[in-house]
Homo-oligomer: A and B are copies of this chain.
Amino acid sequence: MSGTHKPVPRIDTSHEHCRAIAETLDRIGDKWTVLAVGVLEQGPLRYNEVRRSISGISQRMLTLTLKNLERDGLVTRTMYATIPPRVDYELTELGRNLLVPLRSLREWAVRHRPAMLAARKRFADKGRSARFGQRAL
Protein backbone atom coordinates (compact mmCIF):
# COMPACT_ATOMS: atom_id res chain seq x y z
CA MET A 1 0.00 0.00 0.00
CA SER A 2 2.86 2.37 -0.73
CA GLY A 3 2.95 5.43 1.48
CA THR A 4 -0.44 6.81 0.62
CA HIS A 5 -2.58 6.49 3.66
CA LYS A 6 -5.60 8.27 2.23
CA PRO A 7 -6.52 7.47 -1.35
CA VAL A 8 -9.21 10.11 -1.51
CA PRO A 9 -7.64 13.36 -0.43
CA ARG A 10 -8.80 15.49 -3.34
CA ILE A 11 -12.38 15.83 -4.19
CA ASP A 12 -12.52 17.20 -7.64
CA THR A 13 -9.58 16.30 -9.82
CA SER A 14 -11.78 17.00 -12.81
CA HIS A 15 -15.47 17.38 -13.38
CA GLU A 16 -15.95 13.80 -14.42
CA HIS A 17 -17.22 13.36 -10.90
CA CYS A 18 -19.84 15.95 -11.58
CA ARG A 19 -20.74 14.09 -14.72
CA ALA A 20 -21.23 10.93 -12.69
CA ILE A 21 -23.58 12.81 -10.41
CA ALA A 22 -25.36 14.37 -13.33
CA GLU A 23 -25.89 11.01 -14.99
CA THR A 24 -27.20 9.53 -11.77
CA LEU A 25 -29.52 12.48 -11.38
CA ASP A 26 -30.63 12.01 -14.93
CA ARG A 27 -31.66 8.50 -14.03
CA ILE A 28 -33.42 9.07 -10.70
CA GLY A 29 -34.38 12.69 -11.26
CA ASP A 30 -37.62 11.98 -13.03
CA LYS A 31 -40.98 12.59 -11.50
CA TRP A 32 -41.73 9.25 -9.90
CA THR A 33 -38.62 7.14 -9.37
CA VAL A 34 -37.66 8.34 -5.92
CA LEU A 35 -41.26 8.14 -4.79
CA ALA A 36 -41.42 4.53 -5.91
CA VAL A 37 -38.16 3.74 -4.16
CA GLY A 38 -39.48 5.52 -1.10
CA VAL A 39 -42.69 3.55 -0.77
CA LEU A 40 -40.79 0.31 -1.35
CA GLU A 41 -38.40 1.14 1.46
CA GLN A 42 -40.57 -0.54 4.05
CA GLY A 43 -40.87 -3.80 2.17
CA PRO A 44 -42.29 -5.49 -0.93
CA LEU A 45 -45.57 -4.24 -2.32
CA ARG A 46 -47.98 -5.34 -4.99
CA TYR A 47 -48.55 -3.27 -8.08
CA ASN A 48 -51.73 -1.65 -6.88
CA GLU A 49 -50.34 -1.14 -3.41
CA VAL A 50 -47.54 0.91 -4.90
CA ARG A 51 -50.10 2.69 -7.01
CA ARG A 52 -52.21 3.67 -4.06
CA SER A 53 -49.13 4.71 -2.11
CA ILE A 54 -48.15 7.22 -4.75
CA SER A 55 -51.11 9.50 -5.15
CA GLY A 56 -51.40 11.06 -8.55
CA ILE A 57 -49.40 8.58 -10.56
CA SER A 58 -50.97 7.14 -13.67
CA GLN A 59 -50.90 3.48 -14.54
CA ARG A 60 -48.68 4.16 -17.47
CA MET A 61 -46.07 6.06 -15.48
CA LEU A 62 -46.12 3.56 -12.65
CA THR A 63 -45.52 0.70 -15.04
CA LEU A 64 -42.75 2.59 -16.80
CA THR A 65 -41.11 3.64 -13.55
CA LEU A 66 -41.19 0.12 -12.12
CA LYS A 67 -39.94 -1.39 -15.35
CA ASN A 68 -36.98 0.96 -15.44
CA LEU A 69 -36.22 0.21 -11.79
CA GLU A 70 -36.31 -3.49 -12.59
CA ARG A 71 -34.17 -3.03 -15.67
CA ASP A 72 -31.49 -1.28 -13.64
CA GLY A 73 -31.49 -3.91 -10.94
CA LEU A 74 -32.94 -1.62 -8.30
CA VAL A 75 -36.10 -3.62 -7.72
CA THR A 76 -37.14 -7.20 -8.30
CA ARG A 77 -40.39 -8.12 -9.96
CA THR A 78 -42.03 -11.34 -8.85
CA MET A 79 -45.06 -12.71 -10.65
CA TYR A 80 -47.49 -15.19 -9.13
CA ALA A 81 -49.57 -17.01 -11.73
CA THR A 82 -52.66 -16.95 -9.56
CA ILE A 83 -56.11 -15.74 -10.33
CA PRO A 84 -56.26 -12.88 -10.06
CA PRO A 85 -52.61 -12.37 -10.96
CA ARG A 86 -50.29 -10.90 -8.40
CA VAL A 87 -46.99 -9.10 -8.87
CA ASP A 88 -44.68 -8.07 -6.09
CA TYR A 89 -42.05 -5.39 -6.30
CA GLU A 90 -39.19 -5.25 -3.84
CA LEU A 91 -36.04 -3.22 -3.48
CA THR A 92 -32.83 -5.07 -4.21
CA GLU A 93 -29.61 -4.56 -2.28
CA LEU A 94 -28.63 -2.08 -4.94
CA GLY A 95 -31.90 -0.27 -4.52
CA ARG A 96 -31.56 -0.13 -0.77
CA ASN A 97 -28.10 1.34 -1.17
CA LEU A 98 -29.68 4.15 -3.07
CA LEU A 99 -31.60 5.06 0.06
CA VAL A 100 -28.38 6.35 1.60
CA PRO A 101 -27.83 9.31 -0.75
CA LEU A 102 -31.57 9.85 -0.83
CA ARG A 103 -31.59 10.27 2.92
CA SER A 104 -28.75 12.74 2.57
CA LEU A 105 -30.80 14.64 0.07
CA ARG A 106 -33.79 14.56 2.36
CA GLU A 107 -31.62 15.90 5.14
CA TRP A 108 -30.64 18.84 2.97
CA ALA A 109 -34.22 19.40 1.89
CA VAL A 110 -35.49 19.47 5.46
CA ARG A 111 -32.73 21.71 6.74
CA HIS A 112 -32.13 24.11 3.90
CA ARG A 113 -35.05 24.07 1.54
CA PRO A 114 -37.00 26.63 3.58
CA ALA A 115 -34.07 29.03 3.21
CA MET A 116 -34.05 28.37 -0.51
CA LEU A 117 -37.74 29.07 -0.86
CA ALA A 118 -37.33 32.22 1.19
CA ALA A 119 -34.54 33.37 -1.10
CA ARG A 120 -36.74 32.62 -4.08
CA LYS A 121 -39.52 34.73 -2.63
CA ARG A 122 -37.17 37.62 -1.92
CA PHE A 123 -35.92 37.40 -5.47
CA ALA A 124 -39.42 37.51 -6.84
CA ASP A 125 -40.33 40.48 -4.67
CA LYS A 126 -37.20 42.32 -5.68
CA GLY A 127 -38.02 41.75 -9.32
CA ARG A 128 -41.56 42.97 -8.81
CA SER A 129 -40.57 46.14 -6.99
CA ALA A 130 -37.99 46.84 -9.69
CA ARG A 131 -40.59 46.48 -12.40
CA PHE A 132 -42.88 48.84 -10.51
CA GLY A 133 -40.35 51.51 -9.66
CA GLN A 134 -39.56 50.59 -6.04
CA ARG A 135 -43.19 51.02 -5.06
CA ALA A 136 -44.97 48.40 -3.07
CA LEU A 137 -47.68 46.69 -5.02
Contacts and interface: CB of A to CB of B under 8 A. Distances in A.
A94 B73 contact: no
A31 to B, nearest CB: 7
B71 A113 contact: no
Contact of A108 (B15, B38, B101): B101
A61 B99 CA distance: 30
A29 to B, nearest CB: 3
Interface in A6-24: 11-12, 15, 17-24
A104 B100 contact: yes
Given A21-B106, A106-B21, A42 B12 contact: yes
A37 to B, nearest CB: 8
A80 B49 CA distance: 57
A107 B116 contact: no
A74 B116 contact: yes
Contact of A25 (B18, B103, B105): B105
A58 B115 CA distance: 29
14 contacts: A12-B38, A12-B41, A17-B38, A17-B110, A20-B110, A21-B34, A24-B109, A25-B29, A26-B29, A71-B124, A100-B107, A101-B101, A101-B108, A105-B105
